[in-house]
Amino acid sequence: MKKILLINPRIEKQGYIKKGDTPNLSPHIGLLCLGAYLEKKYPVKILDCRLIEDHIDAIKAEIKKGDIVCVGISVMTAQIEDALVLSEVVKSVDKNMPIVWGGIHCTLFPESTCKDPLVDYVVVKEGEKTFLELVTLLDKTNNKPTPKQLSSVKGLVFKTKSSDKVTINPDREFLEPKEIPMPAYNLIDAEQYLGAEYWFFENKVFRSLPIHAGRGCYYRCAFCINTLLNKRRWRGKSAEQVLKEIKYVVKKYKVNLILIMDEDFFANKARVEKIADGLIKMNLGVQWAANVRANYFHSNYINSRFMAKLRKSGCISVGMGVESGSERVRSFLKKDITIDGVYNCAKLCNRYKIIPDFSFIIGLPTETKAELKETLKLVYMLKQMCPTAIFAGLQPFRPYPGGELWEFCKTYGFKEPQTLRGWVEDVKKSDYADVNKFPWVQNPEFVNDINYYLMIFQANPKRIRDKLGSISVIIAKIINLRWKFQFWGLLYEYKLFKLVSKLFGKRNIGL
């Protein structure tokens, strides 16, 4: 029987990753879910090019084996260059091999993606049913489907070979929760991903794997692409499904940390409580982490009693998007949270020894430097409330189509590249996060510099000394005084920090 080849390309500037080179490499859970769905009818082979030293030769070898219906490539914006190279490699071996692109970039830019001569088909949004239907059609027609046949596949974007005209079919209906497959971990060598090291867990090494307990989110954050992908609909697997999947990976792969990848794991209180009760009852010895919203921290939901149960069930970290310390900016972003909920999270996490992972966005449209400083003040306050708190960067805002904020950015004259090749050049120049090219950023140099100060602020002094020497510890103490007194003028210390790191032979100051 013919098989399906699925590919996860390399990220720009990343290259080949040996096992142990990076502390927290996770498998591509989207491809694993897609593979699980395809396996109902076809054998599936997944190639994670990050982990293959000569990934081009590996793909050539797979294509030369023959008996492949099509090649599917999952693409984020930073993967476009490698995805194009690999598509060209596939065509060089078999010019008639159908190449299907999917993933977030394709969903955001379906027409410009499909226009590229190396891309035959594009699958948008949830790909499981669409991809299987397309594969079945390609197999049945010996790769010669008619435009009429292709037009019947919901969620598909295609072009007719005679005119290169792109057709975007209607969206496909969402999978129901019971239809969302468990990731097909059997399609990968799980040992390549197990053994993640997290500095905020005192450098403890975990055997961790991600799972999906559901998809989507009810909320309306103006910057988020979820409004496009899931149309503010949340679909949660049943507690029984989730517990079954956790038990499977723990028993099969000796996993001791589960990373729940959902955007809004805590959307249904009764379900979360059932999952927590189930984990306590099963006593698997597994810990877990998930995302949460600040508005869930109140007396009728995540209160002291509930937090105690979460900790007993193995919860060791919760991630929360705060985005800004400014109430005006949070309102502008339509976060629908209160600062009291953020404070409650920090206090309860501190009490029950759960690590809160707060994320913030800076360089936002309309954000002033004074409002950015409100964010810095909040970061410091949260660290005082919960010393174990970590911060997923002060991420510069990246405009993505699909949300309200994208339309707002267009009023500044902002335009994205119109071709895949244009995106390659854009990523090479800026990693698509160069705040200097965003006309709404009022203080681009400050926005760029401040992330170094956050990194050093939350790093363990022993880790700084071990990696960069005692002089860097002194510089770090000066930087921490800035946080304490909230003085943000004449930023120079991180330049000294970078200089010292170079003297110690370090390519960067990552901690």
Q: How far apart are CA 83 and CA 90, in angstroms?
A: 10
User: What's phi and psi for 153, nearest 5 deg?
Assistant: -90, 105
Q: Two tokens at 451?
A: 């992330």
Ranges of each domain in the chain: 3-168, 194-398
Can you spell out the DSSP letters for 20-88?
Answer: TTSTT----HHHHHHHHHHTTTS-EEEEEGGG-TTHHHHHHHHHHH--EEEEEEE--GGGHHHHHHHHH
Q: How far apart are CA 304 and CA 309, in angstroms?
A: 9
Q: How far apart are CA 392 and CA 470, in angstroms?
A: 26
Supply the DSSP symbol for 264: -
Helix ranges restricted to H, 165-324: 226-229, 239-253, 269-282, 304-312
Provide the pLDDT for residue 507. 47
CATH superfamily of 3-168: Response regulator (3.40.50.2300)
Comparing CA positions, the residue from 361, 368, 321 lying closest to residue 342 is 321
Angle of helix 369-385 relative to helix 444-458, nearest 10 degrees? 10
Q: Which fold has domain 194-398?
A: TIM Barrel (3.20.20)
Query: Which residues partner with 121 through β-bridges?
Result: 100, 158
Give average pLDDT by consecutive 10-residue segment, the chain, 511 residues: 96 80 80 96 96 96 96 95 98 97 94 96 96 97 95 96 86 94 94 80 82 93 85 94 97 95 95 98 96 96 97 97 97 95 98 97 95 97 96 86 82 87 84 78 89 86 71 83 93 77 57 52
CB 80 within 8 A of CB 118: no
Q: How far apart are CA 119 and CA 103, in angstroms?
A: 13
Provide the pLDDT for residue 64. 96
Query: Which residue carries 């990693």 as its tokens?
Result: 431
Provide the pLDDT for residue 334. 95
Residue type, 40: K
